[in-house]
Structure 1
Amino acid sequence: MKFYIVTPTYNRCQELKKLYQSLQSQTCHEFSWLVVDDGSSDQTQDWIASLSGVSQFDIIYLPKENGGKHTAYNLALDYMAESDYHMVVDSDDWLSDEAVSLILKDINSLSQEEVGLVYPKSPVSQRPSWLPEQVTQVSIPEIKLKYGLAIETAIVIKNASVKAVRFPHYPNETFLSEEIFYIALSEIGKFRAINRELYYFEYLASGLTSNIFTLWKNNPQGTFLLFKEREQFISKNLVGKNKFLEMLKVTLNKEALRIALPNMQVKKNRFKKMLLRPLAYMVYLKRFK
């Protein structure tokens, strides 16, 4: 079994250096750093090459044409063996010194049915909220949709669990929500939920999260697929008021994006469209105008 830290990157050479230092500082170096370069035009390739013989851990560099983080992740999944484990660590994030040591111990405690581990990501300014103590296993979409936690998570995955799971790719689109991937994983098994602080981040103005609505608008086919998959997950896994509210949110986002993209050919529910049009227009003005 090998453990990989996977970092998809695009023109983030300066940010990678901070992550590299946190990897160098690990108390355990029994891992490989798999850097997938999504067509960078900066000094990423030269800098990675300069680390040869210097780093205390194995580094694999996989260059590819620009296609978006999801296509870089697909390449990483194809590279690793099914017997391995991995965690994605973004180029602008970093780990605590004992992160790898703790993760490897937690991996060894996984049951056969569990597909991996999930921890809270810690913003630099505060400790994040977490699941109720009695919740020890969870699917990734449940964290937000069932338990109402709008938090970032650090996810360790058993590669054998994702051998048949890959991100779809649409021509001329370079963004696809990772939620689609985790909804697919929810059909396979649950993650062990551990409230442990080992992954840190801060939002960058150029990051994906801070530009999510622009990304949705510029990548509509993938975004409408996200809405479809989220609706199906909600319908199957949520109940009562929570189910109604989450379904309403998806519907309003979908209708608002249709307003923003009037030429997009998407199947419509005419009654729902007429009923929710005023609210959807407000969402459109706030997010897509």
Structure 2
Amino acid sequence: MFTIITPTYNRARFIERAFKSICQQDGLIAEWIIVDDGSSDDTKHLVSELSDRASYPVVYIEQANSGKHVALNKAISLANGRYTCILDSDDYLLPNACATMKSYLDSSPGDVIGIVGNCISHQESKLIGTKFPEDEIICSPFEIRDRYSVKGDKKGAMKTGKLKEFRFPEFEGERFLKEELVWNRVGMKYKYIFVNELFTCMDYQSTGLSSTSVGRRIKSIKGTLLFHSEYFELPVSSFAKFKNAINLTRFILHKPTYVELRFKWLFYCLLAFPLGLCFFIKDLITNR
């Protein structure tokens, strides 16, 4: 029923915890696909041991260190389950998460691609960000942030057939891409069901993608500028576009040759330039 996809990089110490949480999902797991993004720790050996204990197929794929987005492209292309859940290697599913997600997805309309719920923090055992203002909302991921002002990481699952329609752009030499770029593209065609259910416990790491995001975005500038450029095409508020323009001008200053400004962005970028410049200077001081 569910394909669980886990991209991982030097997270052997957390893999078994994720494995145990998957095993608790009431026999709803079709397969677990792990993509190892060039780990130098004991990940491969540990996965081999876990595979012998699993009651479902475990697919282990190795790749040179290329980034989570490349790992996701490989895993999604191989997914066979009816639904796909992306579970980071340092996170874990809560009991009955898949059963709850399945109950919503089984009865969802055709224009819905997935289900999204709340997460709790492993460190503090409390809700990450804010709850949804209603117990069930059907809309796009950018609408839930812009119109409903929902904050914090949220996780869920998607219908595999529809998810396979989308790929993460890959740029040579770039190992980071904001996942929201693809989720925004998905949201232009399909909707999600957002529910006040708890699905995932997240264990933030000091060396994880979240904590090192700015530096990675600077190094992967083509993907970064593509994300902020496409954001202007979304049906979001002027204030959301202004905030996006701050980051667009900020990252353009890092690599001005990688973007072609369009006329319809110009107003926002001119308005946002002073703040974008401030963040650019901050980046130079922080990352020097």
Q: Please give the TM-score of this superposition, normalised by the length of structure 1.
A: 0.88
Which letter does structure 2 place at the counterpart of 1:106? Answer: Y
Q: Indicate the residue corresponding to 1:254 in structure 2.
A: 248
Which letter does structure 1 place at the counterpart of 2:62? Answer: P
Tell whether 2:258 aligns with 1:265: yes
- Distance, in Å, in 1 between the alignment partners of 2:233 and 2:200 is 31
- Distance, in Å, in 2 between the alignment partners of 1:274 and 1:29 is 51
State the 1:105 CA deviation. Answer: 2.4
Within a 5 Å distance, the mapping from 1:1-289 to structure 2 comes to: 2-81=1-80, 84-124=82-122, 125=124, 126-128=126-128, 129-133=130-134, 136-233=137-234, 237-238=235-236, 243-262=237-256, 264-268=257-261, 276-289=272-285
- Distance, in Å, in 1 between the alignment partners of 2:199 and 2:272 is 43
8 Å contact kept, 1:140–1:183: yes
Identify if the C-alpha distance between structure 1 residues 23 and 253 changes in structure 2 by more than 3 Å, giving closer, same or farther: same
Which letter does structure 1 place at the counterpart of 2:89? Answer: S
Which letter does structure 1 place at the counterpart of 2:241? Answer: M
State the 1:60 CA deviation. Answer: 1.4
- Distance, in Å, in 1 between the alignment partners of 2:216 and 2:181 is 15
State the 1:276 CA deviation. Answer: 4.1
Q: Deviations over 1:94-138 (max 9, x none)?
A: 111222222232332222221111111222322242222175202
- Distance, in Å, in 2 between the alignment partners of 1:131 and 1:97 is 21
8 Å contact kept, 1:144–1:151: no
State the 1:39 CA deviation. Answer: 2.0
State the secondary structure of the residue aligned to 2:211.
Answer: helix
- Distance, in Å, in 1 between the alignment partners of 2:268 and 2:119 is 37
Q: Please give the TM-score of this superposition, normalised by the length of structure 2.
A: 0.88
State the 1:40 CA deviation. Answer: 1.7
State the 1:211 CA deviation. Answer: 1.2
State the 1:232 CA deviation. Answer: 1.0
Identify if the C-alpha distance between structure 1 residues 67 and 103 changes in structure 2 by more than 3 Å, giving closer, same or farther: same
Question: Pairwise CA RMSD of aligned residues?
Answer: 2.1
Identify if the C-alpha distance between structure 1 residues 57 and 271 changes in structure 2 by more than 3 Å, giving closer, same or farther: closer
State the 1:30 CA deviation. Answer: 3.5
Which letter does structure 1 place at the counterpart of 2:274? Answer: P
State the 1:7 CA deviation. Answer: 0.4
8 Å contact kept, 1:29–1:57: no
State the 1:87 CA deviation. Answer: 0.7
- Distance, in Å, in 1 between the alignment partners of 2:195 and 2:9 is 30
State the secondary structure of the residue aligned to 1:92.
Answer: coil
Q: Deviations over 1:171-220 (max 9, x none)?
A: 00001111111111112211111111121112211111111111111100
Range with bigger deviation, 169-178 or 120-129: 120-129
State the 1:141 CA deviation. Answer: 2.1
Range with bigger deviation, 105-114 or 246-255: 105-114
State the 1:65 CA deviation. Answer: 2.3
8 Å contact kept, 2:113–2:162: yes
8 Å contact kept, 1:116–1:190: yes
The answer for unaligned runs of 5 or more in structure 1 is none
- Distance, in Å, in 2 between the alignment partners of 1:207 and 1:258 is 25
Identify if the C-alpha distance between structure 1 residues 274 and 131 changes in structure 2 by more than 3 Å, giving closer, same or farther: closer
Identify if the C-alpha distance between structure 1 residues 221 and 53 changes in structure 2 by more than 3 Å, giving closer, same or farther: same
Identify if the C-alpha distance between structure 1 residues 100 and 184 changes in structure 2 by more than 3 Å, giving closer, same or farther: same
